Structure 1
């Protein structure tokens, strides 16, 4: 439980760092809305598919000790925050969440499982070179 608490505190610190960076840019005299959770989920999906120095940098950014820790924490947020609260009178939130790769590439089964089951994101193989249409990758 202590590790989970530390992970949440680390993610909160990351969110404040993002907000501080955003506020210190050219938006000083403007209203700004951003979603730290959306950014965390996006970067978490990237981290889940990375390895080597890129993964190390992503884990450093998230202040996380392992990809397993990150892959257990962020999908919990997806499950809890984006569950339909309508039957209880609560909000129903959604997020546009998907991963797209060129049709010449394929998803590694473990990564595809994390993306679809953990992050509840769609995965698509598309022809980035010549076509605009896409093929769903659920099979």
Structure 2
């Protein structure tokens, strides 16, 4: 009887480990060139394109993991969850985020999704044009 109780606690602790293993954002990789959008849907404008194999940080997903709030190269936006694979070594490595997200602890949004803006365009300063006068020496 004394041995069974500690074994039961160990079993419960081991079963809860996958959910506790992930605290904070998840790391994932894209399985295709992926448009990052301002919101969770194709009706939102494209902010940037994440190349195939690009690493993204996933902050949360919609309830069914179809869209994920992510960051890539200092740009934050929404990407399709079905083109993301979990990128941390372990039993869920390489699995699609929609099937692994619950087990690795990716937060889910039920509503009030953040909507992002396009990053500001790079504006280069205008070089003044000076008239060319013949040089006189």
Q: What TM-score do you get using the length of structure 1 for normalisation?
A: 0.20
From the two aligned structures, give the one with the greater strand fraction. 2
Q: What TM-score do you get using the length of structure 2 for normalisation?
A: 0.20
From the two aligned structures, give the one with the greater helix fraction. 1
Larger RCO (CA under 8 A, 6+ residues apart): 2
Radius of gyration: which is bigger? 2
